[in-house]
Amino acid sequence: MILCLNIGDTYIYGGVFLDHEIKLRFRYPSVDACTDTYGLFLKEVLEKNGIDKEDIRAVSLCSVAQTLGQSIIAVCKKYFSITPFELKAGIKTGIELEIKNPLKLGADRMASAVASAHHFPNRNLIIVDFSMATTLSAQSNEKVYLGGAILPGIKSSIEAFSDRAEKLSDAIKEVTQRTNQSIFLSEPAILISTGDYAHLFEQEKFFTINVPDLVLHGLRLVLEKNK
């Protein structure tokens, strides 16, 4: 089994894979806690779901919170006797980055790019991740990451004003449509939604497909590429 962890500023989102299938999903707040707090949580969540921690043979993670990421690496070493694989700059991914500063691309967005290219080979792609922030990424059918944008999160917009959420929704649609028209002229892109709030757009039928666990799948795939 492979434990995959997406470590964010607000929460840690994790999953356990058996072969290519996710058997367990969980989340935990990114609080200011000691290493043992995270270790005991991971141990408990596995046990409650009938998974022996000894069955975890590898850990793959990405982190936008550097200090917390280092704490989780220490947790894996102490509680699982595993040195985790960390997706970061310089790691082999199979994705070419055609952007000005590749080092600024978040590891979670790179994981999504890897998973999208794997699930939808030889297709132009637009990926919209509705997490705490909303991120958009454009990727060619030749596995070239062309660029992206970061917008306010859906949750914060909903909590502030409902009309702001509607405007954000309209902005996302406009950006994706313009991207299709200006970049992907010969072949329209597949529109992929992911993240916590992607389900809010399901009734509109705007996206081609919703893949909630895109980052976790990407972490598993990158681990396999770097064995």
Buried b (16+ CB within 10 A) or exposed e, 73-110: bebbeebbebebbbbeeeeebebebeeeeeeebbbbbb
Q: Give the model confidence (pLDDT) of 64-103 as tens digits.
A: 888 899 999 999 999 999 999 999 988 999 999 999 888 8
What contacts 33, CB < 8 A, 6 or more positions away? none
pTM: 0.89
How do strand 125-130 and strand 134-139 relate by DSSP bridges?
antiparallel
On the question of pLDDT at 168 being above 60, the answer is: no
Higher pLDDT, 188 or 185: 188
Task: Quickly list DSSP for 181-194.
Answer: HHT-SSSPPEEEEE
Question: Residue ranges of the domains in the chain?
Answer: 2-86, 96-225
Element (H, E) at 201: none
Least confident of 67-76, 185-194, 199-208: 199-208
- Topology (CATH) of 96-225: Nucleotidyltransferase; domain 5 (3.30.420)
* Residues identified as active-site: 108
96-225 shares the fold of 2-86: yes
- Architecture of the domain whose range is 2-86: 2-Layer Sandwich (3.30)
Q: What is the mean pLDDT of the chain?
A: 88
Tell me the three state secondary structure of residue 88: coil
What CA–CA distance (Å, rounded) separates 110 from 37? Answer: 28
